[in-house]
């Protein structure tokens, strides 16, 4: 929840509406639809055709009610959600978890064993081919270009792929395409797909018929666009060589104590960068789940010496039937007490970015992506408006910046069989009265990169075979160019971590690395959430080449990382663990 609103005002606005469990499916749906089409903050902005949507969904609800088919009812509601391109819109409820899983399994419980990536030249290639999968058994290799599916051009088929089961509703066209590249490789168990592809090593094409098998949602999890555990809220370091500051922020949400800790960590990072005379900075917002607007506004203040408008907050007024500026003062984050305060000189309903007493005035390269959502999009938005900064990424941010408040939840059924519809009720508006960041009727929105990182065959290899952080390296290159640094003069003391061999790992793996100079070395294995599982080396080592053997042991199949950290730099490699 991005802001705290007085509960008495919520009640007076008539915002809460709880649907009795004793009502039927149609009554529950009708109550939800009537509420959402009025209170949803972006119906006009996104040109949602509410009557057409109702004409499409309501008959399915009616049919489900006639047969008491809870799965059909749930699926119809999921279709309703998927019709609104907004990452904040969702259907939730612990009481319906079993229904959700049953419905999901029926539709995408099967896998052909591959997922795709779209390249800049328009080709679709296999970014993932799981060993032993139907695709692998048919001869598909990593990087294969997909030509046709069921005798149709692959691009035409991709556009028809449902994103109903995306973890977060895609708000922009590119986010929808990313999800379609995931779900094109999934279907009901037993479904067949005729596919034509061309491997890199071949001039000719292959055609095969694949049958979807239960892979325990492997490709679904491997390509997830919604982080379950994004890591610590604040992580920072001085990058070597180069001396640039690196700051990763994964959330701006939590209780007051947690917000204070986030702010303190962010401030400590900026202080460290200034103390080390960092000539530039990388702000990594690629995985950020959002949180409190006032904290986002405050953190943006470390990069400006001026007070700047962050947003005007608009909410639905049932009295006028219009979305209007919030009539009360908006709390701001207090850098002195780490609490909140009200500035009586500020206009009502308005949030400002204020200087924080410590200024980082050097260029900032901001990394964003589809997993950068809600309030997490606010800092990139503000930095992009300031001179000298650039957003450098493959993709834009999520484009779901609306405000989630206490009345953003419409319950169709109460606990313990709870089921509720969650949606944004507030708009963030700029000084011109235009909605900020939330995608529009053409599905364009979010923070769009100033500089798009190229996506080609070489980059795909670096991303998915070598586990190279291409966006980070590209951002460093942009900083070097802006500052006139010769990138050909590489530091002889760099650390190089070789790819893990073999990959996938069945029992053990060889890990090799080279050191240019004597340095402290920490070599460890992490899981997909960045948690350290095993430390292989933690000691000073001389320049030279080293090889370590890592035993899989009881590690479960999945994605893992090997990371080396030294006084001269850092490198990381991704690898996959599979059963024998």
Tell me which of 489, 522, 553 is where a domain ends.
489
| Structure confidence at residue 486 (pLDDT) | 61
57 and 187 within one domain: no
| Structure confidence at residue 487 (pLDDT) | 52
What whole-number distance in Å separates Cα of residue 210 and Cα of residue 429?
A: 49
Mean pLDDT of 420-443: 96
What whole-number distance in Å separates Cα of residue 392 and Cα of residue 453?
A: 7
Mean pLDDT of 111-117: 97
Which CATH number do you get for residue 270? 3.90.226.10
373 and 242 within one domain: yes
What whole-number distance in Å separates Cα of residue 270 and Cα of residue 245?
A: 8
Query: Is 373 a domain residue?
Result: yes
| Structure confidence at residue 1 (pLDDT) | 37
**pLDDT tens digits for range 510-543:** 999 988 888 889 898 988 766 788 999 989 899 8
| Structure confidence at residue 493 (pLDDT) | 52
Query: Is 273 a domain residue?
Result: yes
Query: Is 345 a domain residue?
Result: no
**Percent of the chain predicted with pLDDT > 70:** 93
CA dihedral of residues 427, 322, 80, 104 (deg, nearest 10): 30
568 and 546 within one domain: yes
Structural domain boundaries enclosing 41:
16-105
| Structure confidence at residue 241 (pLDDT) | 76
| Structure confidence at residue 563 (pLDDT) | 85
Query: Is 539 a domain residue?
Result: yes
Q: Does 573 score more than 90 pLDDT?
A: no
Confidence of residue 574 (pLDDT cuts 50, 70, 90): confident
Q: Which of 330-339, 400-409, 429-438, 526-535 has the lowest mean pLDDT?
A: 526-535
Q: Which of 187-196, 524-533, 546-555 has the lowest mean pLDDT?
A: 524-533
Query: Is the overall model pTM greater than 0.85, yes or no?
Result: no
| Structure confidence at residue 575 (pLDDT) | 86
393 and 276 within one domain: yes
Tell me which of 454, 489, 524 is where a domain ends.
489
149 and 193 within one domain: yes
Mean pLDDT of 425-437: 96
**pLDDT tens digits for range 51-107:** 999 999 999 999 999 999 999 999 999 999 999 999 999 999 988 999 999 999 999
295 and 166 within one domain: no
Q: Does 20 score more than 60 pLDDT?
A: no
Q: In which order are the strands placed within the sheet that holds 390-393?
A: 234-238, 245-249, 281-284, 364-367, 390-393, 451-452
476 and 369 within one domain: yes
Give the single-character DSSP code of 1: -
Confidence of residue 14 (pLDDT cuts 50, 70, 90): very low
Tell me which of 489, 523, 555 is where a domain ends.
489
Q: Which of 51-60, 261-270, 390-399, 469-478 has the lowest mean pLDDT?
A: 469-478
Structure tokens belonging to residue 246: 């690196």
Burial class (CB in 10 A: 0-12, 13-18, 19+), 8: exposed
| Structure confidence at residue 566 (pLDDT) | 81
Query: Is 160 a domain residue?
Result: yes
**pLDDT tens digits for range 223-267:** 998 866 777 899 999 988 788 999 999 999 999 999 999 999 999
Query: Is 426 a domain residue?
Result: no
Query: Is 181 a domain residue?
Result: yes
Tell me the β-bridge partners of 535: 524
């Amino acid at each position: 929840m991005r802001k705290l609103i007085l509960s008495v005002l919520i009640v007076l606005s008539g915002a809460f509406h709880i649907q009795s469990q004793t009502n039927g499916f149609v009554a529950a749906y009708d109550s939800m639809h009537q509420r959402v089409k009025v209170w949803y903050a972006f119906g006009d902005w996104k040109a949602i055709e509410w009557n057409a949507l109702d004409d499409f969904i309501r008959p399915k609800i009616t049919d489900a009610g006639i047969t008491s088919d809870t799965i059909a009812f749930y699926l119809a509601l999921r279709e309703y959600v998927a019709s609104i391109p907004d990452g904040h819109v969702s259907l939730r409820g612990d009481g319906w978890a079993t229904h959700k899983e049953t419905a999901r399994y029926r539709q995408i419980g099967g896998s052909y064993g591959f997922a795709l990536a779209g390249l800049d030249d328009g080709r679709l290639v296999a970014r993932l081919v799981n060993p032993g999968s139907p695709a692998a058994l048919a001869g598909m290799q990593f990087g294969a270009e997909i030509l046709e599916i069921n005798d149709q051009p692959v691009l035409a088929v991709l556009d028809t792929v449902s994103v109903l089961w995306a973890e977060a509703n895609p708000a922009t066209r590119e986010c929808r395409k990313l999800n379609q590249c995931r779900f094109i490789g999934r279907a009901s168990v037993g479904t067949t797909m005729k596919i034509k592809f061309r491997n890199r090593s071949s001039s000719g094409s292959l055609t095969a018929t694949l049958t979807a098998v239960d892979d325990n949602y492997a490709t679904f999890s491997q390509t997830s666009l919604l982080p379950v555990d994004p890591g610590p809220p604040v992580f920072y370091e001085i990058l070597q060589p180069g001396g640039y500051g690196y700051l990763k922020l994964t959330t701006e949400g939590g209780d007051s104590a947690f917000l204070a800790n986030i702010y303190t960590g962010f401030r400590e990072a900026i202080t460290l960068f200034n103390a080390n005379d960092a000539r530039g900075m990388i702000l990594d917002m690629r995985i950020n789940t959002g949180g409190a607007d006032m904290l986002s506004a405050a953190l943006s203040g470390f990069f400006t010496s001026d007070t700047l408008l962050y947003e005007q907050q608009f909410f639905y007024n049932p009295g006028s039937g219009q979305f209007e500026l919030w009539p009360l003062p908006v709390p701001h984050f207090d850098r002195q007490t780490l609490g909140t305060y009200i500035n009586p000189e500020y206009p009502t309903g308005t949030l400002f970015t204020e200087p924080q007493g410590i200024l980082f005035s050097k260029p900032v390269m901001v990394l964003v992506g589809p997993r950068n959502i809600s309030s997490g999009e606010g800092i990139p938005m503000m930095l992009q408006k300031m001179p000298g900064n650039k957003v450098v990424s493959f993709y834009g941010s999520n484009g779901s910046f609306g405000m989630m408040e206490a009345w953003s939840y419409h319950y169709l059924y109460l606990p313990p069989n709870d089921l509720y519809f969650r949606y944004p009720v507030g708009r963030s508006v700029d000084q011109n009265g235009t909605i900020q960041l939330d995608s529009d009727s053409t599905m364009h929105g979010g923070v769009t990169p100033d500089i798009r990182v190229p996506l080609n065959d070489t980059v795909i290899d670096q991303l998915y075979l070598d586990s190279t952080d291409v966006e980070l390296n590209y951002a460093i290159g942009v900083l070097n160019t802006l500052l006139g640094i010769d990138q050909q003069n590489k530091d002889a003391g760099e650390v190089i971590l070789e790819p893990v061999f073999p990959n996938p790992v069945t029992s053990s793996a060889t890990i090799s690395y080279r050191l240019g100079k004597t340095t402290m070395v920490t070599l460890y294995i992490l899981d997909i959430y960045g948690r350290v599982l095993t430390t292989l080396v933690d000691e000073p080592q001389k320049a030279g080449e080293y090889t370590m053997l890592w035993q899989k042991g009881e590690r479960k199949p999945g994605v893992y990382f090997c990371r080396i950290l030294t006084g001269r730099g850092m490198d990381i490699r991704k690898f996959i663990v599979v059963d024998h």
